Amino acid sequence: MEYFRNRYAHMVQEHHVTRVRSTLEERAQRIAQLKTKKDAQNYVKQVRQAIRKCFAPFPKRTALNARVTGTTSKGHVTVEKIVYESRPNFYVTANLFRPTHINGKHPCALGVCGHSENGKAHANYQGYAYALASKGFIVLIIDPIAQGERKQFFKKDGGAFDNCCNAHNQMGNQMMLIDEFFGTWRVWDGIRGLDYLLSRPDTDKTRVGVTGNSGGGTLTSYISAIEDRITMSAASCYICSIDANVANEEPTDSEQSPPGFLAAGLDHVDLLIAAAPRPTLILGQRHDFFSSRHTEKAAKDLKHIHKLLGTPKTARHFIGDGFHGFQDDARQEMVSWFMKHAKLKGSTRIPKLEPLPDEELYATKKGIIDFKNHVRVFEITKDNADTIAKTRKKLSADNLARKAKQLLQLNKIPAGMPEYRALTQINAHTPYKLRAEVFCIETEPGIQAIVEVYNNGPRKMYPPAGSSNVYVGHISSGDDVLNNTYAKDLLKTNKPLITIDPRGIGQSCSKSCGDIEFFHPYGADYMYASIGEMYKNSYLGQRVFDVLRSLDWLYANGSKNITLHGRGINSITVAFAALIHKNKPKVKLHNYLTSYQSLCDSPQFTWPCSSLLRGVLKHFDLPDVYKALGKRLELSQPWNQFMKNKK
C-alpha cells in the first residue's frame, strides 16, 4: 500500500498489553490476599459463578438418540463407534474405548480434542484414550465441530476452510450477532457426551475424568469449571495466561474468548480453580507457544488455593521438554494422575500404540456426517436469527440510539474537546500536490485517532472552520484518498477534506501477529476484537468512540456543516457515529453492508469480527440505523457478504 506508513503500528498492541496486564495484576493482588480456607472457598465460589455467567445460557437437554454404529478392537480394548445428538438433529461422532480384560464398573473419562483436522482419530488423541482404557478406564472421545467426521463447510457453501481454526472463527463471528458464544456450543457437546458416558451401566459415576490438549485443554478447563460431575481433570498445553498470549501476539480461537471473561478479572487458571478442590493436573511443554513460564505461575495460584482448602496433594503441574502437543511424557503424567485418583492399582506405564487408521474409527459410513436430517451450525444460527427478526420490536430513533450506545459500550462519552497533538514536523505530500497536516486526537490514554487535513495553502495548526468533508476509509483513509475513486472525488469538491483513521486503521494498523494481511482470520484485527469480547467492550465500539471524539475536536475548533463519509468496514463505524453524535452530521456511506441479517443468511462471509456487534440482532439491524438517520443519510454501492459490489 502506497500510503500505509503505519507510524503508530504498535499503538493498539501496546494499549491491549497494558490493559490486560493491569487487569491481571489486580487479580494477582486478590490471590495474594487469600489467607484462610474461607477466603479460598469464597474465591472459588466467585470465579465459578463468573465463569458460568460467561457461558450462559445453555440449551435444554433433549433426547441424545445415541447409537453404536460399529466396533473394532485393539488388544484388550474394544472401540465402539458412536453417534449422538447434542441438540436435535445436531450429531456428534465419537469413539468409546472400553477395556475387555477388567470386569465390573469402570472409572471413566471424557476426551476432548485439540485442533486436529482428523479430530478424535489423531494419533496422540486415540493414543491417550487407548492408554487409559488399557488401565481400566472407559473413555469417550468426541470429534469437535468442523473436525474429524463433523465438517461444516463444503463447496456449495463457498468452499471448505483451509483449517478447522478458521472454520471455528467463522461460526463464532456469526453467532456474535445473536448473542451466542461458540465456546458454549463446544462445552455443550462435551456435557452431552458426559450424559451418554454416565448413562452406561459399566461406568462409575464417582470416578469421572476429563482431559484434552490445546483446544482440548481449553475445553477440559471449561468443562471442569462448569460440570460438577467431573471428579478429576488434566488440561494439556493451554493453561498459561491471557497476558502472555496478548503480549506474545498469539491470537486464539473464537471459543477461547469467553464474553466478559476479562471484565470479570479472570485468567486461564481460574477455570481450574473453579473446580477446586477436585484433583487437577496442569500439563505444559517447555517449547510451547502457550508460555510455559506463565503455566508455572498459573500452577502456583492453583496450588495456593488447594493448600488453603486443605488439599495440597490435589493440585499438580508438569512441564515437559517438548513442543506443543499431548506428548508421551504428558500422557504418562495424565494416566498416572487419573489412576491415582481413581484408586487403580498396577503399573502406570502407558503402552505404545500403533494408531488405528482413521477409517477404522469412523462412526459414519463415509467418515462424514451426511444424515438427511442433520443440521449444521450456521443453519441453526440462521434459523435463530430468523426467529429473532420476526419477534423483534421496532425501536424509535431515540431508543435505537440509546440501545446502540449500550451495545457499543459508549454510555460514558467525555464532554468537551479532547487533547491532541499537531505533528508540525510530519506532513504527507500527496500525488495531488496537496499537503496533509497530521493531528493525533488523544481519545483515551494510549490511543490516538489520526486526523489528516488536506490543503494546498500554508501550513495550518488547526483544522479548517466552516463546512468540510470528513472521511473514514475502509482499512486506510490515506490509501483510499490515493486509490479509491469515491475518496479521490472528495478532493475535487469546494470543501476541505479531513480524514480520520480510528484505532487499528491506516496509520495505526497493527504490525503485530506476524504482520499478516488485515482480513486474515487470525490477524491482529481479529485478535483485538476478541480481546474486546472478553472485556464486553467491542472493537467496533472503540472505533466509533475514536470517530466521535475526533468529531468533538473538529466542532470545538470551528468546523460546521460536516458531512461524514464512511467506506467499507468503516461505513458501519460512521453510521453508528452519525446516529450517536449530538450534532447529527450529514452522512454518506459507500460500499456499505446492507444488513447484519445478511451475514446470518449466508454460510460464509468476509466482514471481520471487528465490524460486528454482539447481540445486535436481538434489538435492531443496520436498516433500522439507516432509517433512523433519515434524510441525513445517502447510500451508494452496497457490498455483499464477501465485501464485493452487490449485484
Domain ranges within the chain, ordered by starting residue: 41-385, 395-636
Contact, 579 vs 400, CB < 8 A?
Answer: yes
pLDDT confidence tier of residue 71, bands split at 50, 70 and 90 = very high
Q: What is the CATH number of domain 395-636?
A: 3.40.50.1820
- How much is the pLDDT for 257? 97
The answer to whether the 41-385 and 395-636 domains have the same CATH topology is yes
In one letter, which amino acid is 218? T
Contact, 612 vs 176, CB < 8 A?
Answer: yes
C-alpha cell at 297: 505461575
Rounded mean pLDDT, 324-334:
96
The answer on pLDDT for 4 being more than 80 is no
Contact, 501 vs 485, CB < 8 A?
Answer: no
The per-residue pLDDT of the chain, averaged, comes to 94
Residues 6+ away with beta carbon under 8 Å from 539? 504, 525, 528, 529, 532, 609, 610
The answer on pLDDT for 411 being more than 60 is yes
- How much is the pLDDT for 74? 87
The answer on pLDDT for 430 being more than 70 is no
Distances (CA, A) of 361 to 96, 112, 355, 456, 525: 10, 16, 10, 71, 39
- How much is the pLDDT for 2? 46
Class of domain 41-385: alpha beta
Query: What percent of the chain is modeled with pLDDT above 70?
Result: 97
- How much is the pLDDT for 3? 45
- How much is the pLDDT for 431? 57
pLDDT in tens, 163-212: 899 999 999 999 999 999 999 999 999 999 999 999 999 999 999 999 99
DSSP state of 252: -
Residue 586, classed as helix, strand or coil, is strand
pLDDT confidence tier of residue 125, bands split at 50, 70 and 90 = very high
Query: Which of 29-38, 152-161, 360-369, 370-379 is predicted with the least confidence, judged by mean pLDDT?
Result: 152-161
In one letter, which amino acid is 500? I
pLDDT confidence tier of residue 44, bands split at 50, 70 and 90 = very high
- How much is the pLDDT for 462? 78
Measure the CA–CA gap between 202 and 98, rounded to whole angstroms: 9
The answer on pLDDT for 429 being more than 60 is no
- How much is the pLDDT for 465? 84
The answer on pLDDT for 457 being more than 70 is no
- How much is the pLDDT for 426? 59
| Residue among 625, 231, 609 nearest 405 (CA) | 625
The answer on pLDDT for 515 being more than 80 is no
The answer on pLDDT for 103 being more than 90 is no
Rounded mean pLDDT, 501-529:
93
Choose between 183 and 517: higher pLDDT.
183
Output the pTM of the full model.
0.96
